[in-house]
Amino acid sequence: MNYAEIKYCDIANGPGVRTSLFVSGCTHHCEGCFNQMTWDFHYGEVFTKEVEDQIIESLRPDYIEGLTILGGEPLEHVNQMGLLPLVKRIRDELPQKNIWCFTGYTFEADVLERMSKMWPETMELMKRIDVLVDGKFVLELKDISLQFRGSSNQRLIDMPKTLQAGEVVLWEDKNNAHS
């Protein structure tokens, strides 16, 4: 797996101050994508154990709320395989941190009905993610007033509650009830 960028004090891609990992590789090619260079699976740098260690260290301070994974497309299979060890490690070493993941895929049709039946990594990742932001960016539905997403078709899914309920439960910002 390659990655395009790591932002160590990101406040745009989830609640609080976060580390954000932008993976490389995306087959969606959404019109109006803000990160077209990450469509190429070979763009950027190779994700190594040293890079994983740097991310883990960046998450240790109390003021860092968690990790956001975006891209590119984190749920491309090669990226799932690269991300699963990192996500497992965060859950083991830093269980108080939350993990957000942005995907252009839809949870029901793509993640549950297709990916989870083909790749064991998919549900292993879903079990460890706190919020999944799903759905392609749709330029015609762009709305800059939306919290943590670019277009109105995208959803903020509370993954632990969704997996427990067996149906999609949307995330609620407990710090800002009017979002």
The pLDDT value recorded for residue 27 is: 92
Structure tokens at 109: 């049709």
Can you give the pTM of this predicted structure? Answer: 0.94
The answer to whether 2 and 44 are in contact (CB under 8 A) is: yes
Instruction: Please state the domain extents for the chain.
Output: 2-165
- Burial class (CB within 10 angstroms; exposed 0-12, middle 13-18, buried 19+) of 122: buried
Q: What is the pLDDT along the chain (179 residues), one digit of tens a residue?
A: 999 999 999 999 999 999 999 999 999 888 888 788 899 999 999 999 999 999 999 999 999 999 999 999 999 999 999 999 999 999 999 999 999 999 999 999 999 999 999 999 999 999 999 999 999 999 999 999 999 999 999 999 999 999 999 999 999 987 764 44
pLDDT at 176 (0 to 100): 62
Q: Is it true that the peptide bond before 72 is cis, omega within 30 degrees of 0?
A: yes
* Domain 2-165 listed as CATH 3.20.20.70: yes
Q: What are the tokens at 169?
A: 């439960």
